[in-house]
Amino acid sequence: MMLGTTRLPSGLSQSPTPSSCGAQLLRSVSNVGSLSKMLERGQQLPEAYRWSSSETAAAEDDPAELEDEVVVPVINLAELDRSDERRKEICEEMRSACREWGAFQVVNHGVPDQVVERARRTSLDLFALPESDKLRAERPPGTLFGYGATRMASFFNRLMWSEAFTMMGSPHNNFEAYARKLCVHSEQDFCKSFEEYDKAMRGLALLITDLILHGLEASEERIHQHIRNFWGMIHMNFYPPCPSPSEAMGLASHTDSSCLTIMHQGSVGGLQVKRGDKWIAIKPVPGAFVIQVGDMLQLMSNNVFHSALHRALVNERFERLSLVYFFTPPPTVSICPIHPSKPLYRCLTWNEYLQVKAKLFMGALDHFLLPE
């Protein structure tokens, strides 16, 4: 479906409430990829990109060289259909990972390597376009789709060392509209690569969400009711090499508004999740996808799970691309805790949640807590 005819949640057109400093910086966002090429290693970053040492704590190590990370759970889906008992074991592994980490990795998930590689190559080609071409698809302030800084950037008084691009996935993808805006070499190849990736991610998201909700002992009816019509969004983050990574932040700490986030981070590390008071690097595993609990799944689980607080670091030598798939409720469907007895949150729509998060950011979920 074309961008102009896609009916989007009303909350996507409303601007967040940024700091005045953050709003001013957003108006001067430059092409970080071009800036990276201009600066020599060790050269001082522009002031707008320099974060305080407290904000970049534990960021001084090159994430591309970390060897001794605590490893988040890696769950093998190869034997999922071997027996009902094995399926229950995998459900319990996911439940445990969601409770203790808010994140895990999956391997042997059935997504063909060539589908991932085509999407990654197309994404890198997109970010390699001249800045003037990318700005044809610039993200309007306060909205989700297009090229530019992430929506949360307005809540920070420094710029992040990354570029981002977001498109709507199924059931209302806008790939064709963006192919035309960007004037890509082959609109057909652009659309095909993302259509294949979107289809594969939707299948994986449905499977994993189903397993996680079974781990919460939800009934088939409740599971079907919650996820059958969920939407998908494809989001790409590009992190060029940074001459002074200890001062920079690729993506500031945040939680995702989605139900579930599926990320392919490639071979270059940089993703970290907060566990307790420590940031833990998620070491890349060949062929794996990183799965993260989003705000909507925290609500649906009634705080059995907590959305993953995460961030992305940069390094001096290697560019990094993350392919992200957000699995979200439709904008106007009511989302409630799976088990109706003693709910901690009132029911809400994703449209309503986005509007509140655009104002309260990390305090958005607390806004929907029921009085004790």
Residues with catalytic roles: 320
Helix 113-127 to helix 187-215 angle (10° resolution) is 120
Name, in order, each residue with C-beta under 8 angstroms of 132's C-beta and a sequence gap of 6 or more.
Answer: none
Q: Which amino acid is at 338?
A: I
Q: Are 350 and 258 in contact (CB under 8 A)?
A: no
The number of beta carbons lying within 10 Å of the beta carbon of residue 117 is 11
